[in-house]
């Protein structure tokens, strides 16, 4: 399955990336100066494909961070539920000990009997 995914996803993406790189070798000037003058030190000249891949990588990182932050509510809820479940299991065991009943056998012990 892994090999299939490699050939279906990674190989076509690599071919597209190489084609994009070859087709976009011309140099572009990127300026971070809002006034638009190219004389400032806020400019950089680089091949267009480098700019495209950099913007893509930054977008993936920002999207990953946004997804991680968006899921924080669910991680918090899962952590709280796990703590509550552990507390309830301890309470059940304590109640069983107080009632004088043996603890519940595991699935393996029940099947072996």
What total of structural domains would you count in the chain? Answer: 1
108 part of a folded domain? no
d(CA 27, CA 79): 50
Does residue 85 lie within any of the structural domains?
A: no
pLDDT in tens, 35-82: 766 566 778 888 888 888 899 899 999 999 999 999 999 999 999 999
- What is the extent of the structural domain holding 46? 2-32+41-53
92 is a domain residue: no
Q: Quick check: is 70 in a domain? A: no
- Taken in order 51, 53, 56, 57, is the CA torsion positive or negative? negative
pTM > 0.85: yes or no: no
């Amino acid at each position: 399955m892994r090999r299939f995914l490699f050939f279906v996803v990674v190989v076509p993406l690599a071919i597209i990336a190489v084609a994009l790189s070859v087709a976009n070798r011309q140099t572009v000037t990127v300026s971070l100066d809002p006034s638009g003058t190219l004389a400032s030190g806020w400019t950089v000249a680089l091949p267009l494909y480098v700019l495209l891949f950099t913007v893509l990588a930054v977008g993936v990182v920002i999207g990953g961070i946004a997804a991680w932050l968006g899921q924080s509510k669910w991680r918090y809820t899962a952590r709280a539920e796990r703590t509550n479940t552990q507390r309830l299991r301890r309470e059940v065991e304590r109640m069983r000990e107080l009632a004088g009943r043996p603890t519940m056998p595991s699935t393996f012990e029940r099947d072996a009997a």
